[in-house]
C-alpha cells in the first residue's frame, strides 16, 4: 500500500496522465492540494472524471495535519493530488519525508508544470537561471530579494522565470490577532501587478545605488504568460513598461525576464511582441 503524489498538469481534469488516473482509481482516499496553484476547473469536475470523492487539503491541513493524510497509508492506497508536478513546491517534499519516516512507500507520478511548460514562449529552458517569486507588496512589507537574484541571472545573460503570488485562505491581521477563522477572498497576482512592483524596486535600487549596473530596467524585454496549457493561453512579449498595460485576463499568470537571447529565441519571442519596433530596440540578441 502506498502514498501516491500525483501531478495533475496545468489545465483541467483531463491533464492527468494515464498512470496517474489508474493510481487515483486504486485509492481509498484522495486529497487535492489547493493553495500553491489552481486548475481551471473545480473539484466537482475532477470527482466526475475520476469517479472518486476528493477532499480539499488546504495549507493548514498539509502543514499541520499531515498525519490525517498519512493515516493508514501503510494499509490502503492514498492519493495526494498536486496541480502541475508533485515537486513544484517544498511542502510536498516535506509530506514525502514524513511518509518515509513512517515507513510508508511513496510513489510520485510526474506531469507538466510551469517550470517546463514556460518553454512555449520561445526562450529555451537551458538558458534560464534561478527562478524567483514575486509576492504581493503591502504598505509595510515590500520584500525585494528577487532583484538580486535577477541581477545574478542577468550578469551571466540568463532568463528569469518569475512565479507570481497566490493568496488562498489567508486571514487579515485583525482576524489572525483575534483568533477568528475568517478568511480573505482568494487573490492571484497579475502580470500587471508584478511588473509594477518590479519597476518600483528597480527605481528604488537605482536611487540607492546610482553607479551600479541595474539588474533590469523598465525597458528590459519580458514575456507575460497567462493560463499556460489552457485553450485560452495568452503570451505577450514587450518591455516591462509595455506589459504593465496589457490585459492578460484571468489567472494564473507568470512572467519571464529575458536575458541575452539566441537569435532563434528572439525570432520566436518577437512574434509575441506588443510592438516589434520596441522589441528590436531593446532586445539583447546573440548572433551565435
Q: Is 95 annotated as a binding residue?
A: no
Q: Is 85 annotated as a binding residue?
A: yes
Q: Is 84 annotated as a binding residue?
A: no
Q: Is 228 annotated as a binding residue?
A: yes
Cα separation of 99 and 80, whole Å? Answer: 12
Q: Is 10 annotated as a binding residue?
A: yes
CA angle 87/128/204 to nearest 5° reads 100
Residues in the chain: 288
- The 10 Å CB-count burial string (b at 16+, else e) for 137-170 is beeeeeeeebbebbbebbeeebbbbbbbebebeb
Q: Is 72 annotated as a binding residue?
A: no
- The 10 Å CB-count burial string (b at 16+, else e) for 76-85 is ebbbbbbbbb
Could you give the 3-state DSSP secondary structure of residue 37? Answer: coil
Cis peptide before 252 (omega within 30 of 0): yes
The secondary structure of 166-211 as a DSSP string is EE-SPPPHHHHHTT----PPPEE--HHHHHHHHHHHHHHHHHH-TT
Instruction: Enumerate the known binding-site residues for S-adenosyl-L-methionine.
Output: 10, 85, 88, 113-114, 164, 228, 253
Binding residues: 10, 85, 88, 113-114, 164, 228, 253
Amino acid at each position: 500500500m502506498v502514498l501516491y503524489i500525483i501531478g495533475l498538469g496545468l489545465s483541467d481534469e483531463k491533464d492527468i496522465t494515464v498512470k496517474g488516473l489508474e493510481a487515483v482509481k486504486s485509492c481509498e482516499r484522495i486529497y487535492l492540494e489547493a493553495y500553491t496553484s489552481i486548475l481551471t476547473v473545480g473539484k466537482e469536475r475532477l470527482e466526475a472524471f475520476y469517479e472518486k470523492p476528493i477532499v480539499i487539503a488546504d495549507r493548514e491541513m498539509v502543514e499541520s495535519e499531515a498525519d490525517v493524510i498519512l493515516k493508514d497509508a501503510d494499509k490502503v492506497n492514498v492519493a495526494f493530488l498536486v496541480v502541475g508536478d508533485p515537486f513544484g513546491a517544498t511542502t510536498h517534499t516535506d509530506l514525502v519525508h514524513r511518509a518515509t519516516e513512517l515507513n510508508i512507500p511513496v510513489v510520485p507520478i510526474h506531469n507538466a508544470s510551469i517550470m517546463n511548460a514556460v518553454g512555449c514562449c520561445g526562450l529555451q529552458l537551458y538558458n534560464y537561471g534561478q527562478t524567483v517569486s514575486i509576492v504581493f507588496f503591502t504598505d509595510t512589507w515590500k520584500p525585494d530579494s528577487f532583484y538580486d537574484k535577477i541581477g545574478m541571472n542577468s550578469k551571466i545573460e540568463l532568463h528569469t522565470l518569475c512565479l507570481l503570488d497566490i493568496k488562498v485562505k489567508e486571514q487579515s491581521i485583525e482576524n489572525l490577532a483575534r483568533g477568528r477563522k475568517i478568511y480573505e477572498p482568494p487573490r492571484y497576482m497579475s502580470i500587471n501587478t508584478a511588473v509594477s512592483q518590479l519597476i518600483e524596486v528597480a527605481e528604488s535600487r537605482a536611487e540607492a545605488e546610482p553607479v551600479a549596473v541595474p539588474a533590469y530596467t523598465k525597458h528590459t524585454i519580458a514575456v507575460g504568460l497567462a493560463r499556460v496549457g489552457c485553450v485560452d493561453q495568452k503570451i505577450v512579449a514587450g518591455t516591462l513598461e509595455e506589459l504593465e498595460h496589457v490585459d492578460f485576463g484571468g489567472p494564473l499568470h507568470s512572467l519571464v525576464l529575458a536575458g541575452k537571447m539566441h537569435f532563434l529565441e528572439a525570432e520566436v519571442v518577437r512574434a509575441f511582441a506588443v510592438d516589434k519596433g520596441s522589441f528590436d530596440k531593446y532586445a539583447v540578441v546573440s548572433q551565435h
